[in-house]
């Protein structure tokens, strides 16, 4: 892909990949060394590695009426430095299909991400990450839960731990990331031993 061509598409609505679980339509926000930044129609910011883009094309939609003009996204020179900036964030890895999952980034290296997924430590090679987006409004601190999760776990305050575990295991609640700080710290310590 020509960088000049991609730079002409910044600010326009584009379709990445023609079909399948990784197809996405959104406003192209930025082109970096080895990834691009896209605002999806649902408002989420998606970072997509160039090596996994099969096609890109401009749509004919009116961008100004569909997307927020004040989109905040992480700026990084390359995908590896982006992953480092996303440390200790709740993210969605890949956009769809069987390889899509929500996780908490514990650590990143040039070769892999160390993640907590449903209270399990998982190492994922960076090469296999097609796209990544921050989930919810956790920001970089990552341990806040949404008000929906707070209210559901407060209803049964005597059993907060099991409420958090059950909601973390539901795929829809995984997006709200109810993993406790103590659980993350424990799993992180165990991963350092591995």
Task: Mark residue 77 as left, alpha or beta (left: phi above 0; alpha: psi -120 to 50; beta: remaining).
Answer: alpha
| CB within 8 Å of 147: residues ≥ 6 apart | none
Does residue 179 fall inside a structural domain?
no
User: Considering the domain boundaries, does residue 18 fall inside one?
Assistant: yes
**How far does Cα 57 stand from its chain's mean position?**
23
Contact 17, 54 (CB under 8 A): yes
- pLDDT given at position 66: 72
Residue 29 domain flag: yes
Give the residue numbers spanning the domain of 22. Answer: 3-60+76-134
Per-10-residue mean pLDDT for the chain, 194 residues long?
86 92 92 95 94 93 71 91 96 92 96 96 96 73 36 38 39 43 63 56
Number of domains observed in the structure of the chain: 1
Residue 173 lies in a domain: no
Residue 161 within a domain: no
Q: What pLDDT does 191 receive? A: 59
Residue 43: which CATH number?
2.30.30.600
Best CA proximity match to 28, nearest among 12, 17, 42, 44: 12
CA distance 110 to 126: 7
Q: Does any domain span residue 174?
A: no
Q: Is the pTM of this model over 0.95?
A: no
Establish if 17 belongs to a structural domain: yes
Q: What is the pLDDT of residue 48?
A: 97
Give the closest residue to 109 by CA, choosing from 18, 2, 1, 191. 191
Nearest Cα to Cα of residue 138 among 183, 187, 103, 186: 103
In this predicted structure, what is the pLDDT of residue 73? 92
């Amino acid at each position: 892909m020509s960088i000049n061509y991609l730079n002409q598409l910044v600010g326009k609505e584009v379709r990445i990949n023609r079909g399948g679980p990784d197809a996405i339509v959104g406003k192209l926000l930025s082109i970096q060394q080895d990834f691009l930044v896209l605002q999806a129609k649902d408002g989420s910011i998606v970072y997509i590695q160039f090596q996994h883009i099969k096609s890109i094309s401009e749509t004919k939609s009116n961008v100004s009426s569909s997307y927020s003009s004040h989109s905040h996204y992480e700026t990084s020179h390359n995908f590896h430095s982006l992953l480092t900036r996303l440390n200790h964030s709740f993210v969605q890895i890949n956009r769809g299909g069987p390889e899509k999952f929500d996780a908490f980034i514990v650590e990143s290296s040039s070769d892999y991400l160390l993640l907590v997924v449903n209270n399990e430590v998982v190492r994922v090679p960076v090469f296999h990450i097609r796209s990544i987006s921050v989930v919810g409004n956790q920001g970089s601190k990552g341990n806040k839960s949404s008000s929906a999760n707070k209210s559901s776990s407060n209803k049964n305050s005597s059993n907060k731990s099991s409420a958090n575990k059950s909601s973390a295991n539901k795929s829809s609640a995984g997006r709200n990331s109810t993993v406790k700080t103590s659980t993350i710290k424990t799993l992180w310590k165990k991963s350092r031993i591995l």
